[in-house]
Amino acid sequence: MQGDAPKAYFYLDPYSRPAEKRGGAWMAEVVGRSRLLAPAPGAAPGSPRLPVAHMVCNQSPPVDGAPSLMTFREVETLFHEFGHALQHMLTSVDEGLVAGIRGVEWDAVELPSQFMENWCYDRPTLYSFAKHYQTGEPLPEEMFKRLKAAKTFRSGTMMLRQIHFGSIDLELHSRFSPGHGESVFERDAHVAQKTQVMPPFPDDRFLCSFSHIFAGGYSAGYYSYKWAEVLSADAFAAFEEAGLDDDLAVVSTGRRFRDTVLALGGSKAPEKVFELFRGREPSTEPLLRHAGLIPAGA
């Protein structure tokens, strides 16, 4: 709501239905915000058409009268997809082609979604709903510690894996010429010298199944996964710096996030939007800290 008037509309289809619904989770627009296209009947003259988002998940359905008992991964997925929905719904841009999620450059489109995942590990946020559905008993403290520890388990290995994928993608799409000496597999092994602790097996043919960069729309763009993590971690760091225990500071920082990252859509270049929010260029330090790869106090 914006005052007494709706700001956007939202539909959620949360539960798995294997017989009629594909797997995975996604957010998509029904319509986007636009001043050019007709608003809803009864809307004030000159008002824009309001955005409508729908979000689809495949979480555990209610069974035998019990509510949906979501896994932690399902909670993360719900937060992730709702980040996309927030960017679509809270846009302040009236030009439809760059409103909401439209026109956002590829390497920043995952910023709001990955940003939202951080709140799953924020103790007050998680404990506001992580309770036994019958007794109301909160999540045991030991289990919360395990969730936090699992987040950074082998994080260095996973980061090197993503860096390798992004590096070989850029290498093949910018500097590799088929039929001129080495094969794609030899080039992959060459890149692995910088990105892997152990060399790949000589018969490694992972590239044959790397559909993201050959058939999935991420050609020369796979790096965007890791870069979006840099942006999202740095964005969440703004809340950490303000003080996660300071409600007024969190609200103030949240409004600034809403008025920049969530509001401006594709109307400005992502680096400009980020700088409006953070007051500086992105830093890799928060991502490394969140991954446990540098001390928390560094």
Positions marked catalytic: 81
Which strand ranges, in their side-by-side order, compose the sheet holding 52-59? Answer: 9-15, 52-59, 26-31
- For the beta carbon of residue 253, count every other beta carbon within 10 angstroms: 21
- Closest by CA position to 181, among listed 190, 193, 192: 190
Look at the alpha carbons of 6, 7, 9, 12 in this order and tell me if their dihedral is positive or negative.
Answer: negative
The single-letter code of the amino acid at 120 is C
Residue 51 and residue 33 in contact, taking contact as beta carbons nearer than 8 Å: yes
- Between CA 12 and CA 27 the distance in angstroms is 9
CA distances from 234 to 25, 187, 263, 274 (A): 25, 33, 18, 10
CA distances from 115 to 65, 130, 137, 167 (A): 34, 20, 28, 24
